[in-house]
Amino acid sequence: MAAELLDGSGDGVWLVELASVSEQGAVPAAISEVLGITSRAGRPVLETLLNALELQSVLIVLDNCEHLIEACAEVANAILLRCPRVHLMATSREPLGIGGETIYRVPSLSLPNPDDGDTFATEDSDAVALFVDRARTQGAECTLDEETGPLVVSICRRLDGMPLAIELASARLRSMSLESLHDRLDQRFRLLTGGSRSALPRQQTLRATVDWSYSLLNSPEQSLLRLLSVFAESFSLEAAEKVCCLHDIEEFDVDDLLGSLVDKSLVVAEPSRGRARYRLLETIRQFAAERLVESDEVAAAAVGVAHASYYLSLAELAAPHFFGPEQGRWFARLDADQANLQRAMQHSTAERDGTERVLRFGVALQRYWRVRGRDEEPVSLLTSVLERPEAQADPKLFAAAMCTVAYLSSDTRTALLAGERAVEIARRLDDDRLLIWSLGYLCAKCYFGGDPQRGLQLGKEAVERARALGDEVLLANSLLRYLLCSSTIDPARTEELFTEAIASAERSGDQFCIAHLQNNAGSYALEEGNIPAARSHLEEAVRVSDAIGYVNHYQPIVNLGQVLYEEGDCEGARSRFQDALRISRRAGDRSGIASSNLWLACLAVDSGDWHWASLLHGVAQAFMDQTGEVWEPEANHREAASISAVRTHLGDAEFERAYAEGMRLSAEEGFELALGRVR
């Protein structure tokens, strides 16, 4: 960049390489040597340099100042004060900290937009382009296609777009496959070696490069960097202060130390909602984590506990707001720390005495996980901990955690057993609120498990108890689950109960409950043939879902597709069903994937595409089988009628072959089929 400033005027641009200079006092001599300035006996080298530069118009580039930062700052300041036509450019991992300095932070190479998925287009990604170019320079074959492209993108992302790391990684393709390289990046410091022999030793391996930066830190900075490795992704200043004030670091020291690490380019500071959040690049985090364990195993354990305790406090602070009018804001508040909440729960699960914390996480975050569609791993962790003998030390907490499993588990049998256990304990404890929630969750699982008659009685008891308590949140949520069964078995009061439930939810401000009630009311209106009412309810369900960021709101989308279908807009219906499929797939919801495929199959029947319809019916049933649930009555009726029509036109044998083929398709093949990309 400096060379581009040469225009024939002035006295030139001079590059002063300081990497090999080891003494602070040798900086003036290094600059003088490059510029050809001869020192005079008996005069300080710096004074001779300043005298020579006073009348010159030059640009001096001081490269690699970080290990000589104090001397470079002193010399640079002297030059700027004495030599008005001299300009300086310094490269360093931290600013010089002198007057007149303008700081430009060199970012990592650009990466593909995460919203684009694992795209392998290189035009907007410098990191991907560098990886491909360096791989080819090394004589390795690296052609981007649908198989290799996502691997390259993932490698570049995991290396944070760091040029040296990418160059070292691409060189590895001389001896290993792209897939092997990708799978071994967790051992990146052992893997990424063998840089250019002409490069400085610290630039020949990734570990040497990071170790060089680490060695330039003072002891408190090194301690904080090691402790910060406990965080996943980004974190706030408050979190760092509460989690990392261990041993030689006081809470009020963290701000200054963190700022120093930002200046030294070892921590990244990013604006977020008007506040700064901080993060370590993954390569730095792995290095710091290794150093933490090597230097002090006691500190490593202590900071893990502090991290888990801090985020448990945050979760329990947020939990009461998940059922009120501010829930959308609190869901968004936790999004920034979602990875830390997950890591805190994982750490607690692995701890010998972390059982209680895991249960408390499970109780506090159940609604957040459902809204954000992130419940699979937490439920798995929670289920494993509930099997420990100490999990039952606090029966109320144990039952509440069982409620979470009943609510969130995708395995119907597991959910039913958890719900039954929660009801049993709540009755024994005579805890009305816990019993109401337990009854409601068990009611819903009975309905989805194909036993609405049992669910009806459970739901009725929950509603009666909630009415007696006068709690709007409990009543709205109990009615939501009771209506699943009562609208099927005893529909006479369905509209009246929906009116009561929606009004109760609106008074409480529980937007998530409102979204579900509006969807279910719309579905009921659709079954009754009241298309205008169905559209009104369903559009409100979509609006509220979007407002709170409900990730997996496929149901009102599917139901709106049915509204369009009833109105004769088959293309509009198909678009809605495919939108619902994308939403369900992104959230990993097999019920939603099954439902979307079922309605696309019904559309295929109406258009006379019999073979495609058979395949889609097979895909739909395969996903439904994975849930352990059964089709809801309306869907079951539609499926039976659609399959009957296909059998009539194709014959049993041909239908069965196509149906079985659809059931055998992989998830990706089924997705491509449903979107009409393959037939």
Residue 264 has what DSSP assignment?
Answer: T
Q: How many CB atoms lie within 10 A of CB 637?
A: 12
Task: Record the pTM.
Answer: 0.79
Give the Cα separation of 502 and 480 in Å (integer): 9
Give the Cα separation of 304 and 310 in Å (integer): 10
pLDDT digits (tens, 9 = 90+) for 9-30: 457 889 998 877 888 889 999 9
Residue 627: per-residue pLDDT: 85
How far out from the chain centre does Cα 646 lie? 42
Q: How many CB atoms lie within 10 A of CB 366?
A: 26
Token pair belonging to 238: 């408050």
Residue 91: per-residue pLDDT: 86
Give the Cα separation of 10 and 526 in Å (integer): 80
Give the Cα separation of 222 and 236 in Å (integer): 19
Closest to 406 in 3D by CA, of 360, 437, 361: 437
CA dist list (Å): 355 to 340, 342, 419, 421, 429: 18, 15, 20, 19, 21
User: Which amino acid is present at 620?
Assistant: A
pLDDT digits (tens, 9 = 90+) for 411-422: 889 999 999 999
Give the Cα separation of 640 and 662 in Å (integer): 17
CA dist list (Å): 597 to 585, 603, 640: 11, 10, 14
Residue 109: per-residue pLDDT: 76
Strand 86-90 with 275-279, pairing: unpaired
Residue 118: per-residue pLDDT: 46
**Is 15 in contact with 34 (CB distance < 8 Å)?**
yes
Give the Cα separation of 40 and 47 in Å (integer): 10
Q: How many CB atoms lie within 10 A of CB 248?
A: 11
- Produce one character per residue of 515-530: b if its CB has 16 or more CB atoms within 10 Å, e if not: bbbbbbbbbbbbbeee
Give the Cα separation of 612 and 575 in Å (integer): 17
Residue ranges in the chain modelled with pLDDT below 70: 1-10, 114-124, 188-206, 677-679
